[in-house]
Structures are given as C-alpha cells and as structure tokens.
Structure 1
Amino acid sequence: MRFSRTTLGGLLLAGFATPAFAQETAPPPAITINGTAAVVTDYRFRGISQTDRNAAVQGSITVTHESGFYASVWGSSVDNYVTVAGTGHQEIDLIGGYKKTVGGTTFDIGALYYFYPKTHPAGDASSSDFVEPYVDISHTFGPLTSKVTVNYAPKQKALALDQGASGLLRKRDNVYLAGDFSAGIPKTPLGLTAHVGHSFGPSWLATDSTGKKGYTDWGLGATATYKVLTLGVSYVDTDARFLSSGGRNVSKGGVVASLGVAF
C-alpha cells in the first residue's frame, strides 16, 4: 500500500554510489539520468508489508535537471490486498519535485501519484490511486545525515474507510510525519540507518483492524556497498495490527533484506 521514500526504499538508495560517466574535470551535464533495480525480501510501506511478507521486485528511473527539478518513476510488485478492489499486483509511483541544497541543508518539495493498474472494475465506485505532496528537509553533520519528512494526502476516494460500501465513499485525508538518520562508517563501505514515523488518520492508510486512528512505525538497518551494488538489512516494526486478506498480520515486526544496483 504505497511507496515510502523514508523506509526501506530510503535505506536502499542511501547506500547507492552514483557512477561517474565522465571525467571529473568535465563540466556536469545539464540533465542526468539514473536508475535502480532491486530485489527485497518484503516490501514494507510505513512498516506495513505490501506483499504479504513475501519478496518483491522493484525499480526506478530518475531524470534530474541542473536547476534542481526532477521527475521519477518507481515500481514494485505488490499483493492484491493492497488495492481496494483486491485485483492489483503492481504499484507505479510517478514523482515530481524540486531539490535545492544550501550549505549542508537540502530542501526537497514535490508530489507523488500512486497508480495501481487494472484496479478499477466496471461499476465499482472505489479507488486505489491517489496523490500525496511531500516536503523533506535534511542536513549533513560530517558522516551523519538527518532528515524530517512531512507527507500530506488531501481528502480523496482512495483514503476512504468505507470503500465499496454502496458508494458511500466518505473521503479522508492523511498526514505522515517521519524522521530518518543515516551515517557512513569512515573508511568502510558500511552505513547505518534509523527511522521513525507516525501516520495520522483515520484513513485507509492509517487505520488498522484494532480501530486506532493512526500508528507508529520504526526501523534500524545497515548497508554494505560494493561499486554499484548495495546489500541492505533492516528490522522494521509497528504498533499496529493490520491483517491481510489471507489473515496474516502484515504489520508485525520482521527482518527485511535487499540487494540493489544503481546505474
């Protein structure tokens, strides 16, 4: 249920080294294109498994202009309970934004559109697709980088609690607030990460089977990088109780491993 740029995805990308395509003496190009591909043992979105605690294949491509504007496409396999209609097996995120670094502080503002192909049966008033603007502020202190993220999804169908209930579809909104920390271990290819976030509801994103209006997720992880390859291992947990269509508690804590490549 929706990509998190501040959980496992962030942990994996934090370890990637961008390959150099030109000599350092050459001027940087006005437009750069980068991509990633990864296999993860469990796709977690804000602590909740999107694959019924099974593996997922993921990939992305990002186009960045020297002005700071960027556009990206990210995709992952998901389980069918992630979508409202229960028919989707893919998530595609369309991302656009602007990033600027001043001193050691980076400001990043943009929006994500979460798209789930083939999830709109004829005559069904429910919706899985939605938009979520975001703001990130990060700062680097030597080897340590800290980041605060605020995601706000305005009221829309995909966040309704009464999906499929005779077309009632009371629209909801959602706020996600998170803090992330990453640090490289000097003179080694190793890195450490930590994450804590809270989803404020009620909405399809944040309400679990216990009736809570929100929940907290957190995680600790480590990465090892070799050239363009990154191996990541993290422990992810929540205080929620979210059951998949198969009856598994997909909000339960667990270890997630990933292997990715940057190009």
Structure 2
Amino acid sequence: MKKVTLLATALAMVTGSALAADLPVKALKAPPPPAFEPWDVAFGGGIMSDYIFRGITQSNHNPSVTAYFEPRYNVTKDLQLYVGVSGESISFPNRAAAEIDVYGGIRPTFGAFAFDIGVWGYLYPGGSCFFGAPGIDFAGNFQGAECASQALINGNVIKKDLSFFEVYGKMTYTVNDNWAFGVTEYYTPSYLNSGAWGNYTSITGKYIAPSTIFGSSGVGMYVSGEFGRQWLGTSDSFYGTAAFPNGIKYADYNTWNIGIGFTYKVFTLDLRYSDTDLSKGNCNAFTSDFSSRGNIAANVGTDVTPINPSGVGSNWCGAAGIAKLSVDLTAMTNLK
C-alpha cells in the first residue's frame, strides 16, 4: 500500500509539472520608448585670439568674444527647424564694434547625409561714414554731410551701414564615427552693403580621433580643415576710383584653414591656421582697413593695384593663427 501511495504521488508531481509547462507564460511589458521632445535650445559662447571670417580678420587681429542662442524645433528625428541670434566683438573701419547675426533655416537628414539651408543676416550697428570733403564720389554723387565731414587718415572710405544678408546651403556626409566631409555655398546680392554680389563655396573635412586616444579622461580630439573661394562683383560708386568711377571689381580670392581641436564635456579648444591669396593692395581695397599703411604724403606705395591706386597695403587678409576656447550646450542634453 505504501508503494502505491508513493507511486501516485510521483505521478501527480510529474503530471502537474507537464501541465504547468503547457500553460501560456505572460510576457513582460517592454519599457515605453522615451518621449519625443520636439523643442530644444542650443546656446554657448567663446573667446578667440582673432575673429577670422573667410580668411579676413574682423577684429584687427585682436581678441574677440562671441555668444549665440538657437531655439530648435524637431519636426521628426530627421527634420529640424531653427532660428538663432549670435554676436561677435569686431573692429571695423566705420567704427562698428559689434556684429549681430540673425539667422534661420531647416536641417533635414537622409541617412549619412545632413543638409542645412537658410538665410543669415549680418548687422553692424553703431557705424559712421568716412569719405572726406567734399563728399562727392568720382561719379559725381554726393554721399551726405556725415560722409563729407569725416575721413580716414590713410585715404580709405567706408560706408556707415555695412549690414547685408546671405542665403546658404550646406551638406555634410558622415562616413563613419571618425570621418566627415562637406560642401558649403553662400550667396549675397550686396556683400557688406558694397553693391558687389558675393558667392562663397568651400569644401570641408573633419577627422575625429577614437574616444580611447586619451584613455578614460573624457578628452576628445579632432583635426579639421576647409578650402574655399570667394567670388565678388563690382561695387557701387561709393568705392569708385578715378579709373573706375562707377565702382571697382573686387578681386576674387582663395582662402583655407586647418586646425586641431580638443574637447572635454561642453568645452572645446580649437587651434587653427588661416590664410588667403589676396595681395595687400587688393585686401586694402576690399576691406578699407583703417590701419593699412603707405606713403600717403607722396601718394605712392608698394601695393598699387588697378583697384588700389593709393598703394597702401593691408595685412588683414594674410596668415593668422587663432586660438578659440568655447562652450556649447543644449537644454535637453546638458540641463536635464
């Protein structure tokens, strides 16, 4: 009897286990995906030893500070709309001391290709006109009382308002985690309000070093460079000369830069070399550099060109080294 009881117990245990194995198992719920956040804000600032824009100093080779604020709206994870405002300290011949940029556009992404299309406005408040008595240009146009009453010591002339806008398009192709290449295109109907159209095209490249290069320190490194060409049209009569009273054809030029950068959390230190192929004479005609030099008394100089008859030369377009320390944050990433 005892053996029968043990056998029945064993059969019950085996049968119960088999039935339990056949019962459906309730699956655990997967965690919900993170909520899609359409809004974000990028902002930051920096200090640089020289503010170089397309190979030409905007700060008379002196240090400059910069800051920006950029709200963004992500329509989808691959489509972003944005507007922004930024500012830089400058040193212009018309005595404008700040550049205020207002911009906006759209950034669509298609796989490894990222695009950026928009409009950029450059504003230079606080400027004054410098032309000199009697304030009449070579085409016979009177430039106004303020222009007539003020002159730069080296004979250059500059408008009060240099504000202008550009439309632009950029494309970046990300090869992998280390390599990325891009092209840029900017166009304006009146560069620096000179009356001369401008077209800037460049190619860019960037190499990001593996994250393990500095061990677990969190420091990153990259090398990047750009080669660009600036095409320019003919100015209005304000910048005309005796040979070209209705305006001068600015010289087209090439510009390039290469540098190395180090990143740590939200900080970036960028060390860069920049240069152009503009001569000192053509640079002077283009920039109206207030610091350019020549033998004004004798009206001769070593940098005479067809559009720069005074012969004074500018070093604003030459070789320059730039060190920039910046901080860049986004609200959704850095302020959570």
Normalised by the size of structure 1, how large is the TM-score? Answer: 0.78
Structure-2 change in CA distance of 1:213 and 1:159 (3 Å) = farther
5+ residue gaps, structure 1, are 1-24, 161-170
Q: Report what 1:230 is aligned to.
A: 268
CA RMSD in angstroms comes to 2.2
Q: Report what 1:179 is aligned to.
A: 203
1:63 to 48, 71, 75: 71
Q: Report what 1:16 is aligned to.
A: none
Greater helix share, structure number: 2
Larger-gyration structure (1/2): 2
User: 1:142-192: CA deviations, max 9, x gaps?
Assistant: 1111110110002x38442xxxxxxxxxx2211000111111011240001
Instruction: Map 1:82-121 to 2 at 5 A.
Output: 86-119=94-127
Structure 1 distance, partners of 2:128, 2:316, is 24
Identity of aligned residues (%): 25
Do 2:234 and 2:249's aligned partners in 1 also have CA atoms closer than 8 Å? no
Instruction: Say whether residues 1:190 and 2:221 are aligned partners.
Output: yes
Query: Shift of the alpha carbon at 1:80?
Result: 2.3
Q: Report what 2:34 is aligned to.
A: 26
Structure 1 distance, partners of 2:256, 2:126, is 32
Q: Report what 2:165 is aligned to.
A: 131
What count of residue pairs does the alignment treat as equivalent? 220
Structure-2 change in CA distance of 1:199 and 1:73 (3 Å) = same
User: 1:183-215: CA deviations, max 9, x gaps?
Assistant: 1011240001010110001357xx9xx976211
Structure 1 distance, partners of 2:191, 2:74, is 36
Q: Report what 1:50 is aligned to.
A: 58
Structure 2 distance, partners of 1:40, 1:258, is 4
Query: Shift of the alpha carbon at 1:261?
Result: 0.8
Paired residue type of 1:69 = L
5+ residue gaps, structure 2, are 1-32, 130-143, 148-158, 214-219, 240-247, 293-313, 330-336
Query: Shift of the alpha carbon at 1:118?
Result: 1.6
Higher relative contact order (CA 8 A, sep 6+): 1
